[in-house]
Amino acid sequence: MADGFDPRRAYDLGGRVVIVTGGGTGIGMVYSQILAEAGAKVVLADLAAEEGDRVAQEIRDSGGEALSIATDVKDEVMVESMVNLTMEKFGQVNGLINNASMMSVLPRGEWFNIPPDEWDSVMQVNLKGIFLCCRAVYPHMKAQGGGRIVNISSSRIWRGNPNRLHYTTSKAGVIGLTRALAREVGDDNIGVNAVTPGFTLSATQIASSSSNYMAGRDEGKCFKRPQVPDDLVGTVLFLLSDASAYMTGQTLNVDGGQSMH
């Protein structure tokens, strides 16, 4: 058979090592669990160490391979240590999902009431954290001959949702980072893409949202039902796989058709 696209292997993640920041909680937990089911070796890099340990143990108990490492993504030393431990354990890093984000603890309110130190904290986690994680995996991906990075943004950026201006701004910055980084690492065969999820009924989102806020979340969608973490998994796995091998610098919106671009 001629060389080319192999549908039997295009979506195969078996044996690949994927780091998931925030991988022990919320949507990140679902990414970790499904990646393990797809045969990937998963590194859960989460500040919530107990939750990460629990999910990693559940994956191992189910026959998968997982490593939990307590990580604050805005801390350069911890990020470098996390990637070094990944290399020591698994010998490679094929994928990185930059999922960790500061959102659920942020109060909703008018932009002029945001404390400057809170603004800085959001940028530290949501932008600097991605930069540090990408920088830490880069030399290993380059030496291997390639890799895949998936940055999680938010569909808020398409609509300019109010009341969390710092969060929306940081998630817009993720798109600029994705595009520019894709240009810089293309020669190293490293793909960098982004996903903009809609309002997703994860445990952390539910905990931070009032019933009144959640009531109107399905208005304007083509698919008029709540979005759940499983709705995002296919897109993320696609971007980690060979099926998207010639795709980089792009943003895929997954919100049931509420926003289109």
Catalytic one of 31, 167, 213, 246: 167
**From residue 164, how far is each of 112, 121, 192, 244 by CA, in Å?**
11, 13, 26, 33
Q: How does DSSP classify residue 223?
A: S
Ordered domains of the chain (ranges, CATH): 17-254 (3.40.50.720)
- Look at the pTM and tell me if it is higher than 0.85: yes
What pLDDT score does 212 carry? 52
Q: How does DSSP classify residue 9?
A: T
What pLDDT score does 203 carry? 65
pLDDT tens, N- to C-terminus, the chain (261 residues): 347 888 888 899 999 999 999 999 999 999 999 999 999 999 999 999 999 999 999 999 999 999 999 999 999 999 999 999 999 999 999 999 999 999 989 999 999 999 999 999 999 999 999 999 999 999 999 999 999 999 999 999 999 999 999 999 999 999 999 999 999 999 999 999 999 999 999 766 555 445 555 556 788 999 999 999 999 999 999 999 999 999 999 999 999 999 998
What is the phi/psi pair of residue 194, to 5°?
-130, 160
C-alpha 26 chain-centroid distance:
11
Q: Which 3 state secondary structure label does DSSP give 8?
A: coil
What pLDDT score does 204 carry? 61
Rg for the chain, CA atoms, rounded: 18
Residue 167 known to be catalytic = yes
Q: Which 3 state secondary structure label does DSSP give 252?
A: strand
* Cβ neighbour number for residue 124 with a 10 Å cutoff: 17
Q: Sign of torsion, CA 173 94 22 221?
A: positive
Q: Sign of torsion, CA 1 95 151 213?
A: positive
What pLDDT score does 24 carry? 98
What pLDDT score does 214 carry? 59
The amino acid occupying position 171 is K
What pLDDT score does 1 carry? 38
